[in-house]
Structure 1
């Protein structure tokens, strides 16, 4: 706290950082965002009844009867205020955060499923959905704002939730959305090229992720993927108890892939065999992280393995459909980073017989990290039989211009494999028409999303539903 103007002994009703929601006797926290500056709306908030203003810079006009609290960082102040306002709900359950570039949604969601199967009341805060026990809420972003997080955690307290699994994004850490929360554990998945439109460098991106582990309490566990070169970096300054998992290097939790098929994986985890319906080596890491976290949270080994064998893939994560007549396999996956796309294509290529073709439909989101676009084009064209470059969520950018940047990564020997169709629905239809019996179609980038965002408008669009319908219509 840098300075206070007015009386701090006042009773407040609610806390808001959106001036449009402010009512009588509320607190308004002025936050500087990427689009707007909350300090510009202080007067509006006061006119709507704000009793207290939290700000980084005091306004020129001080209104009598209003308390002004100047702070160094409004986002950090909001996080602590939110936790205190809701009576520190994270302290009343076991909250586990999952961070990294890929695998966050799968690990958090399947831990929710596993502990639900084990008979516990469980919460989930993920990209795909929010769950308070069995009550579903739509998720707006990977890591919600600190007020929303604490609101859901307080609701979990009321419902008797014992465990909550939460995705922790680099944006969430950097913007103090997770500040003030008490974590029982943290899981690091991996780190690869992503969000460099937001972070100035890969090193900054890595260090923001590391900050999550730096702030874990001594009572928590820190579980890291030791096969990722950044895995041990995450543990360097943490006070938490340190554990590792991996497939290649020595680790506390070690797995070996015994079988890898389209029907699932046979793994040996710490000398115990388990069959999983999940597919691919990247999912072997996810399963291992889930197993390790569940054991660290007290689940008995055989019970843990039993529930793992019953888990199903998460919507939009290697979700597949096989056409009834031609046996064409269509796979929908959220892979929207170069590393994730390579993992999915490597997995398919390791399983398929090479007698069938692999047709990939892929694009890149607009208003996001442009540097990954040629990398996506290079990977897709190098590891597929044929590629259709298309739109993803163009947002405010021109879809054709995005595709041109993706095409720059295609090497000359792969030019004849590629075609560009900016209309995503037409691109998926074309892939289905190109496919012969037993071929494989990968539709990457949007996964679980059921919309396409163009010029600020969200239109209904579900990759899985669309490809399923096209394949059912095909008569070859």
Structure 2
């Protein structure tokens, strides 16, 4: 692709050319690839220098040129005898260049974006199941992986950098995918990763406290979330029909529904929402609900557990309605979906303990998951959790307080400590735990008196899982929270293999063999 075609998408402040090349020669240069990581640059590539969390791409321009970069896009002047395109915002430029280079793939497929603090992954799985049940070729980009055509690929972040995102969308387009479901993180919105992605449907699930290490304030966090609706579903979007599916039981959802000027399908627990429950039964077997919808009543059964998953289910129904999918097909697609990886995913125990692994890593998510489990009519709730290092510290005491208040036993352990000392993270969690009148327990306390309430500290997550399951009796619930589907633990700068589900299964085998 000629450089001139790519530059037509940008607001160029200054085009710097080498002394031995004319402007026409530069504009006619063929660009073979687009990159934002200098180590990935190939001969004939275009390097876009962006400022990252740990490094600034402008410091790696020489490396990119040495590796064969034909031109560089940057935010500041560069004293190089090379083709340098200066722009105001290199992240925005990267998104536009990536989209153009890959043929604007989002314009060729139906694109559904999901944003919100919690529920994105489960909602994406539900929508994917509905699309598949309707016979459509669907792709998904999300927290667990990106997948299409029966294949799944690792995805290190919820929403990839724009160059990677556009490449993935182009792969899906070229393999015949007609509909893409994409989880959209607040980081991606703030960093322009999905700029020039044109949505057909935008879904808002909820907004609660998270990512304040990045956004600093809740107002900034909320502003990032809104951008999906004001920009990706805004006036610049060339698609003929654009719909927002908004969960209006959330206060920010109600605010968004009042501000959005396009078509809206409101979902919620109150009768004022277009999609709301008429009758519902929630138990250990899942959800049985009769919904009121704009097309009439819709009966649905799902193996998902808890009121928060009923909210996710209604969001998926809203998307199905927006796409014109028949009600019976929507219900059938939801009913076909089994457990979502790491989202209240059960670990089977023949001895009658109810063990669940869940990704809940925010105060609101932990509160909702514990609330869902407490309504199952079982025995005690033993909750194991920690908090991530090098991330929002303000939620640590909040999560500790929730666990101590709502659970019979809170097992405080490590999550992904990263470069923070695990015991320092745990101490911040305990500040919230100690707001409740609960005692610190020892492992022997749990075994001697299964009726005792309190908390226990075990920094080793492997040992903590064994401790929690050992303490449980038939009928008790063990919630292993925080990491969900993740097959690793981040300790220092190392990525260590670790899967809560496998650890729970291993612990069960050992414990049950002794009893």
TM-score, scaled to structure 2: 0.89
Residue 262 of structure 1 contacts residue 279 of structure 1 at CA under 8 Å; is this kept in 2? yes
Structure-2 change in CA distance of 1:10 and 1:71 (3 Å): same
Give the equivalent residue in structure 1 for 2:57.
38
Residue 487 of structure 2 contacts residue 497 of structure 2 at CA under 8 Å; is this kept in 1? yes
Matched position secondary structure for 2:394: helix
* Among 243, 246, 270, the residue aligned to 1:221: 243
Would you identify which runs of 4 or more consecutive aligned residues in structure 1 move more than 6 Å?
A: none
Deviates more, 1:234-243 or 1:46-55: 234-243
Structure 2, unaligned stretches of length 5 or more?
1-11, 18-25, 441-453
Give the equivalent residue in structure 2 for 1:295.
321
- 2:59 and 2:93 map into 1 onto residues whose CA distance is 18
* Among 258, 269, 274, the residue aligned to 1:247: 269
Give the equivalent residue in structure 1 for 2:459.
422
- Is 1:174 the counterpart of 2:190 in the alignment? yes
- Is 1:401 the counterpart of 2:438 in the alignment? no
* Among 332, 356, 360, the residue aligned to 1:335: 360
* Cα shift at 1:26: 1.0
Residues 279-324 of structure 1 show CA distances to partners (whole Å, capped at 9, x for unaligned) of: 1000000111111101111211112112212211210000012311
- 2:384 and 2:359 map into 1 onto residues whose CA distance is 12
- 1:204 and 1:424 map into 2 onto residues whose CA distance is 33
* Cα shift at 1:412: 4.1
Matched position secondary structure for 1:192: coil
- 2:279 and 2:53 map into 1 onto residues whose CA distance is 44
* Cα shift at 1:256: 4.2
1:182-331 equivalent positions in 2, closer than 5 A: 182-215=198-231, 216=233, 217=237, 219-248=241-270, 250-256=272-278, 258-270=280-292, 271-324=297-350, 326-331=351-356
Give the equivalent residue in structure 2 for 1:14.
33
Matched position secondary structure for 1:433: helix
Residue 214 of structure 1 contacts residue 237 of structure 1 at CA under 8 Å; is this kept in 2? no
- Is 1:438 the counterpart of 2:446 in the alignment? no
CA RMSD in angstroms, aligned pairs only: 1.3
- 1:111 and 1:133 map into 2 onto residues whose CA distance is 16
* Cα shift at 1:432: 1.3
Give the equivalent residue in structure 1 for 2:15.
4
Residues 145-196 of structure 1 show CA distances to partners (whole Å, capped at 9, x for unaligned) of: 1111111111111111110000000000000000011111100000001000
Residue 210 of structure 1 contacts residue 233 of structure 1 at CA under 8 Å; is this kept in 2? no
Residue 55 of structure 1 contacts residue 69 of structure 1 at CA under 8 Å; is this kept in 2? yes
1:67-146 equivalent positions in 2, closer than 5 A: 67-146=83-162
* Cα shift at 1:370: 0.3
Residues 71-111 of structure 1 show CA distances to partners (whole Å, capped at 9, x for unaligned) of: 01100000000000000011111010000000001111221
* Among 358, 381, 398, the residue aligned to 2:404: 381
* Cα shift at 1:248: 2.5
Matched position secondary structure for 1:128: coil
Aligned pair count reads 470
Matched position secondary structure for 2:214: coil
Give the equivalent residue in structure 2 for 1:366.
389
- Is 1:53 the counterpart of 2:72 in the alignment? yes
Residues 363-416 of structure 1 show CA distances to partners (whole Å, capped at 9, x for unaligned) of: 000010000000000000110010110000001111111000000002241234
- 1:206 and 1:339 map into 2 onto residues whose CA distance is 16
Residue 431 of structure 1 contacts residue 441 of structure 1 at CA under 8 Å; is this kept in 2? yes
Matched position secondary structure for 2:58: helix
* Cα shift at 1:207: 1.0
- 1:247 and 1:323 map into 2 onto residues whose CA distance is 34
Residue 121 of structure 1 contacts residue 160 of structure 1 at CA under 8 Å; is this kept in 2? yes
Matched position secondary structure for 1:307: helix
- 1:117 and 1:214 map into 2 onto residues whose CA distance is 31
- 2:113 and 2:159 map into 1 onto residues whose CA distance is 10
Matched position secondary structure for 2:224: helix
Matched position secondary structure for 2:153: strand
Structure-2 change in CA distance of 1:358 and 1:257 (3 Å): farther
Give the equivalent residue in structure 2 for 1:352.
377
Residues 197-220 of structure 1 show CA distances to partners (whole Å, capped at 9, x for unaligned) of: 000200110111011101113621
Residue 214 of structure 1 contacts residue 239 of structure 1 at CA under 8 Å; is this kept in 2? no
Structure-2 change in CA distance of 1:237 and 1:10 (3 Å): farther
Residue 73 of structure 2 contacts residue 85 of structure 2 at CA under 8 Å; is this kept in 1? yes
- 2:278 and 2:423 map into 1 onto residues whose CA distance is 43
- Is 1:472 the counterpart of 2:509 in the alignment? yes
Residue 384 of structure 2 contacts residue 410 of structure 2 at CA under 8 Å; is this kept in 1? yes
TM-score, scaled to structure 1: 0.96
